[in-house]
Amino acid sequence: MEQTFPQRIYKLVSLIPKGKVATYGQLALLAGNPRASRIVGAALAKAPSGLPCHRVLYRDGSLCCDRAFGGKEVQRGLLKREGVLFLPTGQVDLLHCLWKPDNSLLELL
DNA sequence: CCGTTGACCCTTC
DNA sequence: AGAAGGGCCAACG
């Protein structure tokens, strides 16, 4: 069954474990198109509730725009509560908290 | 089928 | 570190 891009995105996001984060580009890569990172954002914008979309951020660790999640502070609070480390600059420590998916996990797609 | 749209990413200043 | 401009690609009408 061929899934649409957003469908694969939803699946990937739901696989992100607590305490880890992923970037839009990362999800785009896992979904099959490294350059379709915008599609990831568009997909999350229409994503159903229950998805840990607050664990998805920019390539440099900066959080997404204020209109999402009800504010950056809210998103940062959620991530901190899950054990995600933050740098003095207020950005997420990607070097330590970036999600590294296993091959067995990707087979489920 | 073509144009518009968008929770991005990269380069450069 | 933050801001501006250009490019990419799939979904939708």
Nucleotide nearest A35, from its CA to each C1': C8
Strand C closer than 7 A to residue A25 Cβ: no
Radius of gyration of chain A (CA): 13
- Asked if A18 contacts A53 with a C-beta cutoff of 8 angstroms, the reply is no
Instruction: Tell me the nt nearest to A27, Cα to C1'.
Output: B8
- Is the CB of A58 less than 7 A from some atom of nucleic acid strand B? yes
pLDDT at position A1 over 80: no
pTM of this prediction exceeds 0.95: no
- A34 CB and strand C closer than 7 A: no
Chain segment A54-105, per-residue pLDDT in tens: 999 999 999 987 777 877 889 999 999 999 999 999 999 999 999 999 999 9
- Known catalytic residues of A? 53
